[in-house]
Structure 1
Amino acid sequence: MSLILWTVLGYLLGSIPFGMVIARLMGLGDLRQIGSGNIGATNVLRTGNKPAALATLLLDSGKGAAAVLLARCFAGDLAAMLAGGAAFLGHCFPVWLGFRGGKGVATFLGTLIALHWPLGLGACAIWLLTAIISRISSLSALMAAAFAPVLAWAMGRSDLVLVCLFIAALIFIRHKTNITRLLDGSEPRIGRK
């Protein structure tokens, strides 16, 4: 029963659409009508408002981390993994927005940092390195997601491989249109409005 409770709480926490809240508070309009229509930090950045994008990044990653840390504190590691995976699911398919949410990259990274900080930092490093080289956010996310299960295994955290595979699979599914644009060379670069 406790595991179910923490999974539901993780989902509800992950469902909070911080990008939309910040965009509205800062007068940037409805994110679903801007750029890619996504509710995450990359699309907030397309409005040209860097502080709003940074706030979205921190809050979206923070909700994944908070779900993990709260569940671990009160119910242990298994609850933490379930809550983290559910928070990621909540960001991608939020109940408050008719299950049409973001792509979950910031929530994914925050969740991994809270589950096992070396793994999370490794995924962040892969994202950052790919972003520096390619200047393409989606490619950076796909690379970090693809390598997360491998990193978990290499770091001796086989218990985290399954949650990493679950999140990676959803990231690839959520980036379906990005993958198409990457293949045809039309994917926009970081910082483009």
Structure 2
Amino acid sequence: MNTLIFTVLAYLIGSISFAVVMSRLFGLSDPRTYGSKNPGATNVLRSGSKKAAIATLVGDAAKGWLAVWLAIRLGPQYGIGDAGVALVAIAVFLGHLWPVFFRFVGGKGVATALGVLLGLNVWLGLATLVTWVVVAYAFRYSSLAALIAAIFAPFYYGLLFGADEILFAVIAMSALLLWRHSANIGNLIAGKESRLGSKAAGAKKK
């Protein structure tokens, strides 16, 4: 029962879409109406507001970190072990992908996945973040950076901790992230993918 409570709480935390919340606070158009129509930090950046994009990035990462941190810090006293932590990690990520508060229309999960990894282990999260930054800086494609970082995340976890229940959660998140980027993969192959920092039509202040 305690594991179920933590898992449901994690899903609800993940369901807070900071892209939508921050866009409203900054007086911007709904990120689900322009650009990639993805409620995430990269699409919010296409509005031209770097502050809103940074706030979205921090918020989406923080919710992933918080859910996992609560499970690791408070879970043991309620009988929650690695399997429970793995469920919480997946639940907060699923909350971002399909948020109950926003008609189950969510983002692709890059920032939230990063927060989850940082919550599991700082070095794991930093290694994945560095991978994203290097690829993004070299090629200027956020989606490509996310895809490569997602592929390497399970590898990094395996090197640090070996095979356990949480590794399977990391693999599941990576697989879902790759699937959510299927359209981006097509655009990358066709040479139609938008580069970081490009302004999207329809992205404007209200």
Compute the TM-score of the two structures, normalised by the length of structure 1.
Answer: 0.97
1:151 matched residue in structure 2: 156
Cα deviations across residues 154-184 of structure 1 (Å, max 9, x unaligned)? Answer: 1134223211110011101111110110111
Cα deviations across residues 59-112 of structure 1 (Å, max 9, x unaligned)? Answer: 000000000011112213423322121111100111122211000000000100
Which contiguous aligned blocks of 4+ residues in structure 1 show a shift greater than 4 angstroms? none
1:190 matched residue in structure 2: 196
Q: Residues of 2 paired with 1:34 and 1:23: CA distance?
A: 12
1:177 matched residue in structure 2: 183
1:14 and 2:14 are equivalent in the alignment: yes
Identity across matched positions, percent: 47
- Cα RMSD of the aligned pairs, angstroms, is 1.1
2:26 matched residue in structure 1: 26
1:124 matched residue in structure 2: 129
Cα deviations across residues 25-83 of structure 1 (Å, max 9, x unaligned)? Answer: 11102111121111110011000000100000000000000000111122134233221
Rg comparison, structure with higher value: 2
How many positions carry a matched residue from both structures?
193
The answer to whether the 8 Å contact 1:67/1:80 transfers is: no
Equivalences for residues 13-162 of structure 1 within 5 A: 13-76=13-76, 77-78=81-82, 79-159=84-164, 160-162=166-168
Q: Which runs of 5+ in 2 are unaligned?
A: 200-206
Q: Residues of 2 paired with 1:179 and 1:97: CA distance?
A: 26
| Larger relative contact order (Cα-Cα within 8 Å, sequence gap ≥ 6) | 2
Q: Which runs of 5+ in 1 are unaligned?
A: none
Q: Residues of 1 paired with 2:122 and 2:54: CA distance?
A: 21
Q: Residues of 2 paired with 1:153 and 1:80: CA distance?
A: 16
SS at match of 1:172: helix
